[in-house]
Amino acid sequence: MGIKLGSIEMKHGICLAPMAGYTDSAMRVVCHNYGAEYSVTEMVSAKAVVYGDKKTFSLARIHYDEGPVAVQIFGSEPDIMAEAAYTLSNTLDGMRPVAIDINMGCPVNKIFSNGEGSALMKSPELIERITKAVSGAIKIPATVKIRSGINGSSINAVECALAAEEGGASLICIHGRTREQMYGGVADREIIKNVKSALQIPLIANGDIVDGESALAMLRDTGADGIAVGRGAVGNPFIFSEIIAAIEGIDYKAPTIEERVSTALLQIRLAVEEKGERIAIPEARKQIALYLRSFHGAARIRAEINRATTYEEVEKALKSALYNE
């Protein structure tokens, strides 16, 4: 096991997968604190980067306590993608990314219908051209995220992965679902295994990793070099410690109520520092709800947080959980 990607080495290849609306700087920090060796930002529009959109640059900003982070871009025009990759790898405030990740797996309609994200899997030739343009424009590695295919009758992950490798990709991450499946059904490990067998570069497997046992099963069944955790890490950064314990064959001690509360508060505080309360507090609610799993009085606490508009109000609501146990 283990992955070398440019200047970094991942002992176990345990990664935080990119998720729009979730994997902001605050989430990346807390996941790194619990063992995520590598993270990928929320996807940013290559065109928006080229046009100098300030909000896009804020999404791509990396802070020093996040660990190794790649910036993910989406688009469909090789020259625009290359220019954006060059800009992001050279001009960001704070930490520079360790890689530029190319999104070829996003299934949402507004991205797909524009010929971007998973729609790129319709054309392995375009995948190769985009990857070649991006990898040729930057001095750090270019990586690619794909799915198993567009739908059940178009499972072409092997062909697309090979096209990306031919274009100069240093690593592939595959989500074992089709675009048509979105996030439903079950990730197909056989497809991931086939992609791994075809590639010379490292492969990270993604899909249905929710605990240490499922992480071990994914690695065992696919032969992948590493795993990327997505939804399983939302409100649960502790999953990375659990996975490391499973891989190393040591006992895992689940977090206490106090640790869950303090970690949730850290994530919210970091988000507030980055975005301000007006944006960060509403965004945090969907993650806080998952931090509250198994808490006594969770419904009441969630209701209080849904009414909260300041960090102090959220802190008071969360700390009340400590007195219910």
Task: Read off the tokens for 64.
Answer: 């020093």
Tens of pLDDT, residues 205-219: 999 999 999 999 999
**Which residues are bridge partners to 203 per DSSP?**
172
**Is the sign of the CA dihedral 123, 125, 131, 134 positive or negative?**
negative
pTM equals: 0.93
In the chain, which residues fall in CATH 3.20.20.70? 3-248
Q: Is the pLDDT of residue 203 over 60?
A: yes
Tell me the Cα Rg of the chain: 19
Q: Which of 31, 106, 160, 173 is catalytic?
A: 106
Architecture of domain 257-323: Orthogonal Bundle (1.10)
- Shortest CA distance to 205 belongs to which of 132, 123, 148? 148
Tell me how crowded residue 90 is: count the other CB atoms within 10 A of its CB.
13
Least confident of 53-62, 140-149, 199-208: 53-62
Following CA atoms 255, 257, 260, 264 in sequence, which dihedral angle do they give, to the nearest 10 degrees?
A: 180
Mean pLDDT of all residues in the chain?
93
Terminal CA-CA length for the chain:
40
pLDDT of residue 285: 87
Banded model confidence at residue 280, pLDDT cuts 50, 70, 90: very high
Specify the 3-state DSSP secondary structure of 184: coil
Tens of pLDDT, residues 143-178: 999 999 999 889 999 999 999 999 999 999 999 999
Q: Is the pLDDT of residue 302 over 60?
A: yes
Banded model confidence at residue 7, pLDDT cuts 50, 70, 90: confident
Tell me how crowded residue 109 is: count the other CB atoms within 10 A of its CB.
9
In the chain, which residues fall in CATH 1.10.1200? 257-323
- Shortest CA distance to 196 belongs to which of 158, 227, 228? 158
Superfamily grouping for domain 3-248: Aldolase class I (3.20.20.70)
Average pLDDT over residues 212-237: 96
Specify the 3-state DSSP secondary structure of 101: strand
Residue 279's identity, in one-letter code, is I
Chain centroid to Cα 260, Å, comes to 21
d(C-alpha 190, C-alpha 186), whole Å: 11
d(C-alpha 233, C-alpha 255), whole Å: 14
Average pLDDT over residues 212-238: 97
Q: Is 106 a catalytic residue?
A: yes
